[in-house]
Structure 1
Amino acid sequence: MKKILVALLCLGLLTGCQSEKTSTSQVKAENGDVVNIDFVGKLAGKAFQGGTAEGYILELGSKTFIDGFEEQIVDMKVGSEKTIEVTFPENYQSRDLAGQKCEFDITLNKAYKETKEASQKGDIVKIDYVGKLKGEAFDGGSANGFLLELGSGQFVPGFENQLMGLKATQTKEIDITFPSNYGSTTINGKTVSLANANVVFEVAVNHVYHEAK
């Protein structure tokens, strides 16, 4: 399963807005929305490693980041930019960042509101899934509360298309044939190739979010 690997930064407890660029959009991000953001973390004015992402999908109020980061995105308008200050905890794993105050430049690209309607291309679905090869779950094939943009091509071809048309609380078994150049996984400690493998994914759609415009 292809996944976008983004360093999820543990952001500190002390925050404060420094500057903001407004937008003419009337769409505001609210707690509970899913947002698409770009962000750049800076220490002493310079971007630091692992502190930058583009098109990052985040559920506001999910506590994916430590208190303060998500809260400052609430009430931002789509298309606006904002700079926040964050102080990393003294016990942060990176010595360079531990106890340091930094800034995050945030751009709010899109805001998605929860809907009861069936999912369609471009929507965000929050899903639980378990992939099974010959009836056995394999390493790396399962997740809970995963946010996926339908049509983004983030997952193996055929996966996202089969989720279109589903509503929140619905479940579905999806049959997928992995590409011939796909790698391997492990099942019960044994290495197994997924190239050309037929895999069944048991998927539960928890929520559906539609872009607000």
Structure 2
Amino acid sequence: MGGKYRVTGAAYPRMRRPRRRRRIVLALLGSILALGLLGYGTLQLIHVFKGDEKKSAARAGDCVKGKPGKPAASAAPAAAAFPKPGQITVNVYNATPRSGLAKAVGDELKKRGFKLGQVGNAPATFDKKVPGAGILLGSPRTGKAAYAVLGTQLSGAVQQTDTREGTDVDLILGTAFKELSKKEDADKALAALAGPAPAPSPKC
């Protein structure tokens, strides 16, 4: 061939690599990356669901035991922590102008199970000087439980201590005294002391 299109062998046409191969490689890399991300997300979801299942199982077990995720707490003070009325010696003294009041109250307390001690008029320190319903007077050794038990029989009585050494308790009737608490109410109060209502179970 002649002219300007003649092939002399000294120069060759420039050949370009097809772009299709590059696109295939990029597509493969993108697919691998997408599969990796999908697998990682799947593993995260599995861990999340397993964690929720463990928490649910723990809550269910706690509900069966009656306590929300904690060891069973110690129960309320046992009934033995409060003495029975028969274990409390009560001295009844009348600090009011009403005659025979100490004997009447003492007899009623005896019927209700208390151990009755001395009965009579209040000493001069308290005679006609107790404006309230009454005073529960004991030694520093007298436990609060004994006051609580005797206090169920008379609302509004105040607690005081003196220098005595025994464990007996004086009930000094004041001018505002009308009558002992009704036996039904006193019995309910005693029952509440001996066995307080249990705490409500957790909602599951």
Q: What TM-score do the two structures reach when normalised by structure 1?
A: 0.22
Q: What TM-score do the two structures reach when normalised by structure 2?
A: 0.23
- Structure (1/2) with the larger strand percentage: 1
- Structure (1/2) with the larger helix percentage: 2
